C-alpha cells in the first residue's frame, strides 16, 4: 500500500478484516462463545478520529486500560480486506488529544461497547456503537504462523459460521458511517 523507510516496517502490523451489521446480538454472542478459544473481554471504547493525509488516525481510550494511538490503512470494500496498522501506547491521552486536535482537527468521535472473543488468532468483536447499532468484526492477525491467505480462509469460515450475507457486510469504518448519518437538530 505504501513504502516504509528504513527499519520502521518492523512496527507495521497486518490483519485481514471483515465488518458486518448484526441482525441479532444475542445469537452472535452465542456463536462467538461456542467458537471462542480464549476467554471473553468487554470494553467501553472511545475512538477520536483526526484528519490526516493518508489512512486513518484515532486515539482509542479504553475504560480501565492504557490508551492507544492507532494509525491504519485499508481499502473501503465490503469483502474481507487487508489492514496495515501501527499501535502506540499512550500514557497521557488527554494531552495527546489536545495536541492532535490543535494540529489535525477532529473528524468524529465513535463510542462503543465491545465484546472481544478470540478464535485462535482471530479477534471477534461484537460492537454496540452509539448512534449506529450492532456490528460484528473479524480481525485475523497476520504473522509468521498466519499469512494473508490463511487469514482470509479464517475470516471466510467465520463469515459462514455467523451466517453473514453480502447484504450484512459493511465496506467502511465506523467513522465513515458516523459521518454519513443525517444531522440531528
* Span 61-73, pLDDT tens digits: 999 999 999 999 9
pLDDT of 9 above 70: no
Q: Within a domain: residue 152? A: yes
Instruction: Check residue 39 and give its pLDDT.
Output: 82
Q: Which domain covers residue 62, as residue numbers?
A: 14-180
Q: Within a domain: residue 132? A: yes
Helix (H, G, I), strand (E, B) or coil at 168: helix
Q: Within a domain: residue 174? A: yes
Bridge partner list, 134: 128
Is the entire prediction scored with pTM above 0.85?
yes
pLDDT of 132 above 80: yes
CATH number at 49 reads 2.40.320.10
Degrees, nearest 5: CA angle 18-24-30 = 85
- The Cα 64–Cα 78 span in angstroms is 32
Q: Within a domain: residue 1? A: no
Confidence of residue 11 (pLDDT cuts 50, 70, 90): confident
Q: Within a domain: residue 63? A: yes
Instruction: Check residue 185 and give its pLDDT.
Output: 53
Output 141 or 6, whichever has higher pLDDT: 141
Cell triple for residue 185?
Answer: 437538530
Confidence of residue 181 (pLDDT cuts 50, 70, 90): confident
Amino acid at each position: 500500500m505504501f513504502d516504509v523507510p528504513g527499519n520502521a516496517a518492523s512496527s507495521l502490523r497486518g490483519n485481514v478484516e471483515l465488518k458486518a451489521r448484526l441482525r441479532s446480538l444475542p445469537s452472535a454472542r452465542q456463536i462467538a462463545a461456542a467458537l471462542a478459544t480464549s476467554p471473553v473481554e468487554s470494553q467501553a471504547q472511545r475512538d477520536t478520529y483526526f484528519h490526516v493525509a493518508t489512512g486513518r488516525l484515532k486515539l482509542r481510550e479504553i475504560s480501565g486500560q492504557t490508551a492507544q494511538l492507532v494509525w491504519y490503512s485499508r481499502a473501503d470494500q465490503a469483502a474481507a480486506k487487508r489492514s496495515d496498522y501501527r499501535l502506540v501506547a499512550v500514557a497521557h491521552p488527554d494531552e495527546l488529544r489536545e495536541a492532535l486536535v490543535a494540529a489535525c482537527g477532529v473528524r468524529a468521535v465513535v463510542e462503543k461497547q465491545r465484546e472481544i472473543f478470540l478464535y485462535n488468532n482471530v479477534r471477534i468483536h461484537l460492537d454496540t456503537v452509539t448512534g449506529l447499532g450492532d456490528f460484528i468484526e473479524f480481525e485475523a492477525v497476520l504473522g509468521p504462523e498466519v499469512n494473508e491467505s490463511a487469514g482470509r480462509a479464517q475470516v471466510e469460515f467465520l463469515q459462514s459460521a455467523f451466517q453473514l450475507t453480502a447484504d450484512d457486510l459493511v465496506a467502511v469504518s465506523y467513522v465513515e458511517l458516523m459521518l454519513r448519518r443525517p444531522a440531528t437538530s
